[in-house]
Amino acid sequence: MAGGNQDHDAVNTMIERLVADLAPVPPVTSPGRTMATWLGVVFAFFVMLLPFGDFAALIARLQSAPDMWLAIVGAILTSITAAWTAFLFNLPDRTRAWALLPMPPMALWVGASGMGCLREWSLPEFGEIPAHEMIDCFAIIVAVSIPLSVMMLFTLRRGYSLMPRAVLVFAGLSVAAAASVILQLFHPFDATAIDLAVHFLAIMIVVVGMRLFGGRAIGRAQFA
Amino acid sequence: MRFRRRESDLKDWAVQKDRRFRELMVAAQAGDRKAYGDLLRSIVPVIGRLARKNRIERDLVDDLIQDVLLTIHRARHAYDPQRSFTVWVAVITQRRSVDLMRRQQRQRQSANDSMLQHQEDVETDLPSANLDREETRRAVRQAVDTLPAGQREAVLRLALEEQSLQEASAETGRSVGSLKVNLHRALKALRGRLTLRTGE
């Protein structure tokens, strides 16, 4: 019983400390407004890179290979839904079920990208993509992901998550999917199997990098 | 009919209570210390009930309450006044309960592993080739009797009676850390004395 009283005293002491420590705080931006800001930033980034890419070649390719539309739509939806999940998980009271939201568009993205592979196998006259093109794809995804990651971390800095790892994984997935869409400006080809593997590797590097370094960047006290 | 009306009254009461919590929290976000103190004191019993619902052990409930209050303090800017405050607290309590149970599990596992390791070390070091079993038992009992009181208590309760650290701590009034240190020292001392006794 003495121990019990000590614990209640500890709770009361903690309350007094917390009250003494209280300072006004501006409320965090709602997930909807955060999402709108993020989409605006990514779109602005895309428009900024347009003059350096081959938009005409991309349109021509899309007209001749409709499944590329599916892959691009899948990547865009993956980026949007993964960002939405990250913004929700950045608040302490949201259900884990939101983790399922990016799964269907991700399946579309991966599946439609894979159809390009099948076309390469069934139509050998298409020929292989040179190795330096694959290295360029890898470099473009990683390089584009860096500024997008910085912008994403800036967007996430004010939340408070009880699932910080999940926040960073979905944030990384969103950034990687957006980078994959931007890549199409510079790489408007069907993906070969090796291409997909290289893309997947670049995406994993972005997701893991965000997971490893993102926590430190946004200064999460409970990130362990 | 009476039951339905009672249920409806309870629901109204819960809604009013939640509205009051939301008002206090909005005031706290603006820096009102009195409102914040009232809010935190009001939700302590709510967190306690949720802790028992999450099957948190009685002696850990206050730890959980402090954990949740600290989380609420750090996350107060992330509360949206359009949403229920009671649900907000309930989700935080549930997540912190899971974290607390995992920490307890890890600590128990770590304590059991270190005790098992010490037990194995003592058993393998004992020169059982030279002493028969009865003599071994007598030697161990005599060696335990020569230990200082705190170390003797730790060995008897943890190694011989196989109590958990929490049980031993509750009965002796010593902290878990103190018991672990005493056990470690006791087993080291026993190993040394029993080895000296057999001359190896």
Determine the distance in angstroms separating the CA of A207 from the nearest CA of chain B, rounded to an integer. Answer: 24
Residue B73 in contact with partner chain A when CB distance is under 8 A: yes
> What DSSP string runs through B81-133?
TTS-HHHHHHHHHHHHHHHHHHHHHHHHHHHHHHHHHHHHHHHHHS-TTTS-H
Q: Report chain A's terminal Cα–Cα distance, integer Å.
A: 35
What pLDDT, on the 0 to 100 scale, is given for residue A164?
87
Dist CA A177 CA A169 (whole Å): 12
Dist CA A185 CA A201 (whole Å): 20
A28: left (phi over 0), alpha (psi -120 to 50) or beta: beta
Helices (H), B146-175: 149-154, 165-172
Dist CA A71 CA A77 (whole Å): 10
Residue B79 in contact with partner chain A when CB distance is under 8 A: yes
Q: Is the pLDDT of residue B77 over 80?
A: yes
Q: Report the length, in residues, of chain B.
A: 200
Residue B155 in contact with partner chain A when CB distance is under 8 A: no
User: What ipTM was estimated for this complex?
Assistant: 0.76
Binned at pLDDT 50, 70 and 90, residue B200 comes out as very low
Residue B3 half-sphere exposure toward CB, CA atoms < 13 A = 0
Residue A7 in contact with partner chain B when CB distance is under 8 A: yes
Dist CA B186 CA B192 (whole Å): 10
Digit-by-digit pLDDT tens for chain A (224 residues) are 444 555 578 899 999 999 999 999 988 888 999 999 999 999 998 898 888 887 787 787 777 777 778 888 999 999 999 999 999 999 998 889 999 999 999 999 888 877 766 665 555 554 555 667 677 777 877 788 888 888 898 888 888 888 888 898 899 899 988 988 888 877 755 555 666 677 677 777 777 777 777 766 665 534 43
Helices (H), chain A: 2-20, 31-49, 55-64, 66-89, 103-122, 131-156, 164-183, 193-218
Residue A19 in contact with partner chain B when CB distance is under 8 A: yes
Binned at pLDDT 50, 70 and 90, residue B128 comes out as low
Residue A195 near residue A110 (C-beta atoms within 8 A): no
Q: Are the Cβ atoms of B66 and A10 closer than 8 angstroms?
A: yes
Determine the distance in angstroms separating the CA of A17 from the nearest CA of chain B, rounded to an integer. Answer: 10
Residue B192 in contact with partner chain A when CB distance is under 8 A: no
Residue B29 in contact with partner chain A when CB distance is under 8 A: yes
Q: Are the Cβ atoms of A160 and B77 closer than 8 angstroms?
A: yes
Q: Are the Cβ atoms of A27 and B79 closer than 8 angstroms?
A: yes
pTM: 0.70
CA B184, chain centre distance (Å): 21
pLDDT tens-digit series, residues B8-54 = 766 788 889 999 999 999 999 999 999 999 999 999 999 999 999 88
What pLDDT, on the 0 to 100 scale, is given for residue B176?
80
SS3 (DSSP) at A96: helix
What pLDDT, on the 0 to 100 scale, is given for residue A2?
45
A16, A162, A167, A218: best mutation site toward chain B, by most B Cβ within 10 Å? A162
Dist CA B169 CA B157 (whole Å): 10
- Helix axis angle, B33-53 relative to B85-125, nearest 10°? 60
Beta-carbon contacts of residue B107 (< 8 Å; ≥ 6 apart): B165, B176
What pLDDT, on the 0 to 100 scale, is given for residue B139?
75
Average pLDDT of chain B? 81
Q: Are the Cβ atoms of A162 and B88 closer than 8 angstroms?
A: no
Residue B35 near residue B24 (C-beta atoms within 8 A): yes
